[in-house]
Structures are given as structure tokens and as C-alpha cells.
């Protein structure tokens, strides 16, 4: 489906689907009588014992005398309990119920609550996010149109005028999430490091300055940790640097850094076959960074933000690095690679160090599908948050609560740090059986100096995540809205 969204304060119901909200106490949307002159919705609610629980739906054929074809009654729960997320989820729920309708009229205002312009814009965001499909590789059956169906959503509310002004922002955010989902869903035969970098390059259209570092340039910079991972692949690595300057000229940028392993076989420490296909999504961190940069640039955020992604493929090969190899990172610190499957931290080590050196950012936030251990610890409802700075951690946690991309802070400290000391080099890339997500974070911390830094381990949330009203895609786009919000609420002038 290709949704088109308009806001209106008119009271006109058109043909198609009419969406009526029903509060738990039984009151329908204000103005809904335009769609339902005979009060069929109320009757339907009564005879089917519809409790109007939050986002529950009841579908009825519109009566003769209504210009609508169908009425969709959606439970709006209790007033006072409708937070920002409610409106976004509502949009998603409505989008899921469109069926054959080409026009959808949503009667948003309720007797007990006139939704704010932000709430109305939230409904639009929910629609756009739920409409996402990854169907690039579904060839159309005979005679079937592959072109997505255009559906026009008219959101009727007294906040229409102000909501309209927020639509650009909504589209920027939805565009960023869509981009990230597409990248995660795309298979690795199509999306290698070079192709991924080209996707970053496309942000130039939005006014982002994009630099792509080639293998030669990375060699010159001494990025031995990243290059060690890349050397087993016939596909050359890249590092994409995206620079958005919407803030004051000399203000230090916020830096977003992403793990972009386009496919992780584990390398010589190879992964088992079962489920390995999921490792096409091991660039979920990089996808979130690109998606966030898209959103930030598309809505012309008044902040300076750099996005850096390390792009490699982790393959076994005659030229691949071996367990026991010692590599020298750009920082000069040496790393004994005891397990070639712990490759994300090697890529990030050089990306973080480079970022810090070149941009002297006010803070760095990296995202990575870094460890299976974070899923053991937190399941799939929270991403792990690790940080050397309490204020930064609090800002990220708050942003995650606002966008329902929730984070859970994990401990760090010298006792964990010791676990990655090595006999043969400055450190080793694995820390033993226990606390695997934490030792991975301790490893990254050795490459960030004194800069306020946070690491989000999104292995459990970036892909194969729990499906909900606004996402049914394998690649979730987790982190895009969180990062955009984090920038918006803390760094814009
Ligand atoms: N990309 C994986 C982590 C991962 C696993 C992400 C499952 C998403 C789903 C990462 O590179 C990895 O292989 N980590 C190892 C580290 C270990 C060798 C210390 C892991 O978690 O098992
Ligand atoms: Zn790995
Ligand atoms: Zn990996």
C-alpha cells in the first residue's frame, strides 16, 4: 500500500472506510454521525458486547444512507491514558484494517479529548510505518498488478491546520525507518559494503556531506582491526562518513556510529548453519545510523550530527584472519583475535577511534547487533545500553521511552574490563563464557577516550523483533526514531 495522508477539519465523509473511535465509556468520535447518521456503530457495539478496549476493532458494513461503505470502530481506551505511543499505534492498527478501501476517513476528535496536533501527526506516522512491506523480490503472479495500491487517508480533527505542519517531519522519520528496514531486509548478495556505502552516498540529495573511505585510505589510517575482519571477503570494505551541519558553525557534533557487517559467517570461527541467514541483518546498527541521518537531514534538524558506519563482510577464506592473529588498531592498541566471530567490536574499535580523532564530537553513540548474549540477558523487548556517562545514558533512556524503543542499562566496570586483558597483546577480543555483552562493551570502551559514549546492543531488537501495530517487518528499523528523538530533544538550537 502507498498511503497518502491529509488532515482536514471539514465534516465530510466520503465513500470508503469510516473510522470511528469509541471510548471505553461508549462515546463515539465527535462528528461521526456524518459517517453513521443512523447510529449503527453504537448499536453494533452493544449487540456484540464490544468493550472498546484500547485498539480493539469492530468492523461493520455501513448502513444505507451512509456515504461510507464500511465502519471500523476502534477502541480508544480511557482518556488520560492516551500517550504519544497510543496515537502512533492507532495509526498502525487502522492501516492494518484497510482491506479493499481506497479512501479512509478517520474521525479523530472525541468528546473527552481533542487530540493535539502531535497526536494527529502520530496517527499519520503509525499509518506510514505499518504500510511498510519488503516485497522487492516477489514477482507478480500472472495478471496481478504489482504496483502498490494508493490509499488516501483523511484525518479529520480540529487540530488539522497545525497537524499539517508536522507532516513533513513525520515523513522524514518514516522515510528513515523505511530506509533502515529495507537495508536490514536486503540480502547480502545484493547489499555488500560498496553497495551499502552507495546508499549512504544517496543522502547527499538531502544536503548531507558524504565521504566514503576506501580500503587504501583505511590502510593508510592504520585501521588494522577493521581490515583484519574484511580480509577474508572478496568484497572490499568501506567506511561511510555522513555529516549533517544544521547547528551552529563551531558547535561540536553528536556522533552516531554503526556496525555494518553485511554478512557475518563468523569467519574461520564459523557459525553453525542453522539460522545463519539471519546474519544478513548484522548491519542493523549501520542501518539505524543511515536511517537516523536521513530523518535528521530530511526534517532539517538544527543540530550538527555525524554518522559513521564501518562496512565489511566477515567470511572464511584462504586469506581470512585466524584465531590467534594479533592486529594493530588505528589507536595503536593491539588485539589478539581469539574468535573471528567477535568481529563487530573490531570494526567498531577503528570506527569509534577515527570518529573521535576526526570530529572531536560532544558525544558518541554506537549501535550494533553485537552479541547473542544481550538477547540472553534482556530478551527482545529492550536493547542493551552501556555507557561511561550517566547523563548521556539518561538522555538515551528517555528518548527510548518516548519512541517505545526501550533501552535497559547494563553494568560496566574494571572487574569486567580485566576479563579482556591478553597475555600476548593489549587485549583479546573475547572475554570468556559469562557476561558476554558486557565484555564486548568493555572492549569498545577502550577506543573512546574520555568522550561521553554509549553503546546500544541491538542484536535482539533490530531484526526478528516482536511484531506490533507499527511493524511486521523482519528488519524493524530499531533505533532510527530513538536517535532522531535523542538529537531533537537534546541538541537542537
Ligand atoms: N553478529 C553476532 C551477534 C548476533 C548474534 C547478532 C545473533 C544477532 C543475532 C556477533 O558478531 C557475534 O557473533 N558475537 C558472538 C561473540 C562471541 C564469539 C564472543 C556471540 O554473540 O556469540
Ligand atoms: Zn560474529
Ligand atoms: Zn556480527
36 Cα–ligand 1 center, Å: 55
477 Cα–ligand 1 center, Å: 19
How many CB atoms are closer than 10 A to CB 264?
A: 26
Q: Does residue 459 have its Cβ closer than 6 Å to ligand 1?
A: yes
Distance between CA atoms of residues 189 and 263, nearest Å: 9
Numbers of helices and strands, H then E, in the chain: 14, 17
Q: Does residue 342 have its Cβ closer than 6 Å to ligand 1?
A: yes
Residue 298 cell numbers, joined: 530530511
Compute CA distances 35 → 8, 12, 61, 175, 487, whole Å. 15, 8, 12, 32, 41
Q: What ligand 1 atom has the least distance to the C-alpha of 344? A: 11
Among candidates 268, 264, 291, 269, which has minimal Cα distance to 279? 264
Q: Does residue 341 have its Cβ closer than 6 Å to ligand 1?
A: yes
Whether 345 is a known active-site residue: answer yes
Q: What ligand 1 atom has the least distance to the C-alpha of 261? A: 1
pLDDT at position 144: 67
Q: What ligand 1 atom has the least distance to the C-alpha of 371? A: 21
Distance between CA atoms of residues 47 and 411, nearest Å: 54
pLDDT in tens, the chain (493 residues): 999 999 999 988 999 999 999 998 767 899 989 999 999 999 999 999 999 899 999 999 999 889 999 999 999 988 888 999 999 999 999 999 999 999 999 999 998 888 999 999 999 999 999 999 999 999 986 666 678 899 999 999 999 999 999 999 999 999 999 999 999 999 999 999 999 999 999 999 999 999 999 999 999 999 999 999 999 999 999 999 999 999 999 999 999 999 999 999 999 999 999 999 999 999 999 999 999 999 999 999 999 999 999 999 999 999 999 999 999 999 999 999 999 999 999 999 999 999 999 999 999 999 999 999 999 999 999 999 999 999 999 999 999 999 999 999 999 999 999 999 999 999 999 999 999 999 999 999 999 999 999 999 999 999 998 899 999 999 999 999 999 999 999 999 8
DSSP letters for 220-265: HHT-HHHHHHHTTSSSPPEEEEEEEE-S-TTPPPEEEEEEEEEEE-
| Helix (H/G/I), strand (E/B), else coil: 22 | strand
pLDDT at position 142: 66
Residue 195 cell numbers, joined: 553497495
Distance between CA atoms of residues 491 and 342, nearest Å: 33
Distance between CA atoms of residues 213 and 284, nearest Å: 20
10 Cα–ligand 3 center, Å: 52
372 Cα–ligand 1 center, Å: 5
Pocket test for ligand 1, best of 261, 323, 339, 341 (most atoms within 8 A of CB): 341
Q: In 9-102, at which residue ranges do the beta strands (DSSP E only) sit?
A: 17-22, 57-61, 70-75
Q: Does residue 125 have its Cβ closer than 6 Å to ligand 1?
A: no
Residue 350 cell numbers, joined: 577503528
Distance between CA atoms of residues 130 and 137, nearest Å: 19
pLDDT at position 27: 76
Catalytic, out of 271, 380, 409, 472? 271
Q: Does residue 232 have its Cβ closer than 6 Å to ligand 1?
A: no
Instruction: Tell me the ligand closest to 429's alpha carbon.
Output: 1
192 Cα–ligand 3 center, Å: 15
Kindly report the protein residue whose alpha carbon is nearest to atom 3 of ligand 1. 371
Kindly report the protein residue whose alpha carbon is nearest to atom 17 of ligand 1. 342
pTM for the model: 0.98
Residue 254 cell numbers, joined: 553528536
Catalytic, out of 70, 345, 395, 481? 345
Distance between CA atoms of residues 40 and 44, nearest Å: 6
- Tell me, letter by letter, the H, E, C secondary structure of 393-451: HHHHHHHHHHHCCCEEECCCCHHHHHHHCCCCCCEECCCCCCCHHHHHHHHHHCCCCCC
117 Cα–ligand 1 center, Å: 42
317 Cα–ligand 2 center, Å: 15
CA count, 13 A, side-chain hemisphere, 113: 20
Whether 271 is a known active-site residue: answer yes
Collect all residues with Cβ–Cβ distance below 8 Å to 444 and sequence separation of at least 6: 345, 348, 349, 352, 366, 386, 453, 455
Q: Does residue 339 have its Cβ closer than 6 Å to ligand 1?
A: yes
CB 264 within 8 Å of CB 445: no
Distance between CA atoms of residues 246 and 303, nearest Å: 5
Please, what's the b/e burial string for 209-247 (b: 16 or more CB within 10 A of its CB; e: otherwise)? ebebbebeebeebbbbbbbbbbbbbebbbbbbbbbbebb
Kindly report the protein residue whose alpha carbon is nearest to atom 14 of ligand 1. 371
pLDDT at position 143: 63
pLDDT at position 388: 98
CA count, 13 A, side-chain hemisphere, 136: 8
Residues with CB under 5 A from ligand 3 (ion): 261, 264, 282, 344
Q: Does residue 438 have its Cβ closer than 6 Å to ligand 1?
A: no
Amino acid at each position: 500500500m502507498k498511503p497518502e495522508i491529509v488532515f482536514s477539519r471539514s465534516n465530510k465523509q466520503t465513500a470508503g472506510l469510516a473510522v470511528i473511535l469509541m471510548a471505553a465509556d461508549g462515546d463515539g468520535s465527535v462528528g461521526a454521525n456524518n459517517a453513521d447518521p443512523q447510529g449503527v456503530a453504537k448499536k453494533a457495539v452493544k449487540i456484540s458486547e464490544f468493550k472498546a478496549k484500547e485498539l480493539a476493532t469492530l468492523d461493520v458494513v455501513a448502513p444505507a444512507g451512509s456515504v461510507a461503505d464500511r465502519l471500523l470502530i476502534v477502541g480508544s481506551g480511557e482518556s488520560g491514558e492516551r500517550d504519544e505511543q497510543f496515537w502512533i499505534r492507532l495509526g498502525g492498527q487502522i492501516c492494518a484494517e484497510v482491506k479493499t478501501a481506497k479512501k479512509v476517513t478517520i474521525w479523530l476528535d472525541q468528546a473527552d479529548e481533542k487530540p493535539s496536533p502531535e497526536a494527529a501527526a502520530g496517527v499519520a506516522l503509525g499509518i506510514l510505518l505499518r504500510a511498510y512491506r519488503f516485497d522487492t523480490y516477489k514477482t507478480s503472479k500472472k495478471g496481478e498488478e504489482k504496483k502498490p495500491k494508493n490509499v488516501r487517508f483523511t484525518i479529520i480533527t480540529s487540530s488539522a491546520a497545525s497537524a499539517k505542519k508536522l507532516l513533513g517531519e513525520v515523513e522524514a522519520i518514516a522515510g528513515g525507518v523505511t530506509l533502515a528496514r529495507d537495508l536490514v531486509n536486503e540480502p547480502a548478495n545484493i547489499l555488500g559494503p560498496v553497495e551499502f556505502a552507495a546508499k549512504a552516498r544517496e543522502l547527499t540529495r538531502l544536503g548531507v556531506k558524504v565521504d566514503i573511505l576506501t580500503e587504501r585510505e583505511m590502510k593508510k589510517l592504520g585501521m588494522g582491526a577493521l581490515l583484519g575482519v574484511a580480509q577474508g571477503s572478496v568484497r572490499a570494505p568501506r567506511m561511510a562518513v555522513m555529516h549533517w551541519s544544521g547547528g551552529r558553525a563551531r558547535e561540536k557534533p553528536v556522533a552516531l556510529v554503526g556496525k555494518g557487517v553485511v554478512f557475518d559467517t563468523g569467519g574461520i570461527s564459523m557459525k553453525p548453519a542453522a539460522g545463519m541467514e539471519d546474519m544478513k541483518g548484522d548491519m542493523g546498527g549501520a542501518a539505524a545510523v543511515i536511517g537516523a541521518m536521513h530523518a535528521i537531514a530530511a526534517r532539517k534538524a538544527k543540530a550538527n550530527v555525524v554518522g559513521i558506519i564501518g562496512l565489511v563482510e566477515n567470511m572464511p577464506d584462504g586469506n581470512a584472519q585466524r584465531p590467534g592473529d594479533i592486529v594493530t588498531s588505528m589507536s595503536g592498541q593491539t588485539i589478539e583475535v581469539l574468535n573471528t566471530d567477535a568481529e563487530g567490536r573490531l570494526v567498531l574499535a577503528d570506527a569509534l577511534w577515527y570518529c573521535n580523532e576526526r570530529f572531536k564530537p560532544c558525544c558518541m553513540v554506537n549501535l550494533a547487533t553485537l552479541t547473542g548474549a544481550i538477547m540472553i540477558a534482556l530478551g527482545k523487548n529492550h536493547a542493551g545500553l552501556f555507557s561511561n556517562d550517566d547523563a548521556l545514558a539518561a538522555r538515551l533512556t528517555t528518548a527510548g521511552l518516548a519512541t517505545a524503543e526501550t533501552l535497559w542499562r547494563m553494568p560496566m566496570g574494571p572487574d569486567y574490563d580485566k576479563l579482556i586483558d591478553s597475555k600476548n597483546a593489549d587485549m583479546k577480543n573475547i572475554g570468556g563464557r559469562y557476561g558476554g555483552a558486557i565484555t564486548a562493551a568493555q572492549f569498545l570502551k577502550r577506543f573512546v577516550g574520555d568522550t561521553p559514549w554509549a553503546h546500544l546492543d541491538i542484536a535482539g531488537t533490530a531484526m526478528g523483533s516482536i511484531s506490533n501495530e507499527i511493524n511486521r517487518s523482519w528488519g524493524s528499523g530499531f533505533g532510527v526514531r530513538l536517535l532522531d528523538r535523542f538529537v531533537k530533544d537534546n541538541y537542537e538550537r
